[in-house]
């Protein structure tokens, strides 16, 4: 039997695209890959492993934590200052100072009316330091009476006199009494209690002046009695 002759088929010439006609892309056959079959249980396990939802702990760890100080607050937290300013002369040298009328309690406004002279309130019996302490407290709610490193190492008898904060708070309390601001006076009493709790000394040297300058039954008078019981 004779050998088979290999037949070579002539290749068809590719059609030349006409002008303006796009050449269609040639499709290349990919080699056949063996596919692996999975059971329904295996499919579910593979699906859950591929699309696993991140846990809350991992998501929190990846989020950068903000260390910036909060600079924006609710507008309801802003103090109601109003538009009317009260002008006062404070101290023996009549230092001019101002304060918003709306931050003052009604009882203080009534008390200031009795101190008016020529259209201005005069507080000659009180120091500028005491009124500035009161004004800062009205705007911020903070009683700024302490000066760092003000205390000196002295004996127990002179400790209260060297510590000027006691006198600063006492003068501020006298101002609270004259201006009839009970809330401010209570804040000073609380500050004195806090100072006594954190100190080895009691304001015995100022007790006589404080007791004599406050009305009978006043909160400061009761506090002094408690200090000495």
In this prediction, residue 102 carries a pLDDT of 92
In this prediction, residue 12 carries a pLDDT of 58
In this prediction, residue 19 carries a pLDDT of 57
The domain locations on the chain are 84-228
Calpha distance 78→145 (Å, rounded):
24
Q: What is the pTM of this model?
A: 0.61
CA-CA-CA-CA torsion sign (224, 216, 134, 102): positive
Query: Could you tell me the CA-to-CA distances from 111 to 154, 168, 213 in Å, in that order?
Result: 41, 22, 18
Architecture of domain 84-228: 2-Layer Sandwich (3.30)
138-150: buried (b, 16+ CB within 10 Å) or exposed (e) per residue?
beeeebebeeeee
In this prediction, residue 165 carries a pLDDT of 85
Q: What is the pLDDT along the chain (229 residues), one digit of tens a residue?
A: 555 555 555 665 555 656 555 555 555 555 555 556 666 666 666 655 555 555 555 445 555 555 568 888 888 877 778 788 899 999 999 999 999 999 999 999 999 988 888 878 999 999 999 999 999 999 999 999 987 765 555 454 455 545 788 889 989 999 999 999 999 999 998 998 888 887 766 666 676 677 677 777 677 767 766 665 6
Q: Show the tokens assigned to 184.
A: 């401010």
């Amino acid at each position: 039997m004779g050998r088979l002759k290999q037949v070579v088929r002539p290749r068809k010439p590719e059609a030349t695209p006409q002008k303006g006609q796009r050449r269609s892309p040639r499709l290349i056959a990919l080699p056949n890959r063996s596919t692996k079959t999975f059971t329904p249980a295996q499919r579910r396990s593979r699906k859950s492993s591929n699309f696993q939802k991140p846990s809350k702990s991992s998501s929190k760890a990846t989020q950068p934590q903000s260390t910036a100080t909060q600079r924006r607050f609710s507008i309801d937290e802003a103090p109601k200052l109003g538009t009317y300013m009260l002008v006062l002369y404070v101290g023996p040298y009549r230092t001019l100072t101002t304060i918003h009328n709306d931050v003052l309690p009604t009882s203080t406004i009534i008390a200031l009316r009795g101190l008016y002279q020529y259209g201005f309130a005069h507080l000659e019996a009180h120091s500028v330091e005491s009124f500035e302490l009161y004004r800062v407290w009205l705007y911020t709610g903070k009683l700024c009476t302490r000066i760092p490193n003000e205390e000196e190492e002295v004996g127990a008898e002179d400790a209260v006199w060297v510590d000027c904060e006691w006198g600063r708070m006492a003068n501020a309390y006298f101002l609270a009494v004259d201006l009839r601001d009970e809330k401010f006076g209570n804040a000073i009493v609380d500050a004195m209690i806090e100072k006594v709790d954190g100190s080895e000394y009691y304001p015995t040297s100022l007790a006589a002046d404080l007791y004599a300058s406050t009305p009978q039954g006043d909160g400061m008078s009761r506090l002094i009695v408690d200090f000495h019981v």
